[in-house]
Amino acid sequence: MRAEDLLPHREPFLFVSEVVSVDPGRTASARWRLDGSEWFFAGHFPGRPTLPGVLMCEAIAQTGALAILADPRYAGKLPLFGGLDGARFRRQVGPGDVLDIEVSMDRLSARAGRGTGRASVGGELACECNLLFVVVDAEAGQPE
């Protein structure tokens, strides 16, 4: 399965290169392969390109969205970031690194969910955080 088969995200804001596994409504794991051509490396930081921590958290959230959207109960829905707690960054991530991402959903209802995510490089923890999702209809009504 490709990330694009489930996620609404597209380049340049799709941060999942490969879906490793999905247990619908429960867990997902994915990889983000950073080759150095990504748009943010040029300015963050010249001479020492570093993946911004907030984008690591977004990659974790996108992996959580895979778990949600793979569940048939959420067909036609869109999980939006509702909150981020306890984010900790343990190592820098740069060009050539492969970010392994794992998310487990702790609670999931018709309108919201909570999950825990981790991202690592070569088995070394890079980022961990707790996520809150709000689930909305994927198609927004047009303003009148």
The conformation of residue 142, written as its DSSP 8-state character, comes to: P
What are the catalytic residues? Answer: 44
CA distance 11 to 88: 26
Helices assigned H by DSSP within 32-82: 53-69
% of the chain at pLDDT higher than 70: 97
Tell the residue number behind the tokens 């040029």, with chain if given.
Answer: 42
User: Could you give all domains of the chain from N- to C-terminal order, each with its CATH number?
Assistant: 3-137 (3.10.129.10)
Check residue 102 and give its pLDDT: 98
Average pLDDT, the chain: 95
Using pLDDT thresholds of 50, 70 and 90, give the confidence band for residue 55.
very high
Average pLDDT over residues 99-120: 97
CA distance 139 to 49: 37
CA distance 109 to 82: 14
pLDDT in tens, 77-99: 999 999 999 999 999 999 999 99
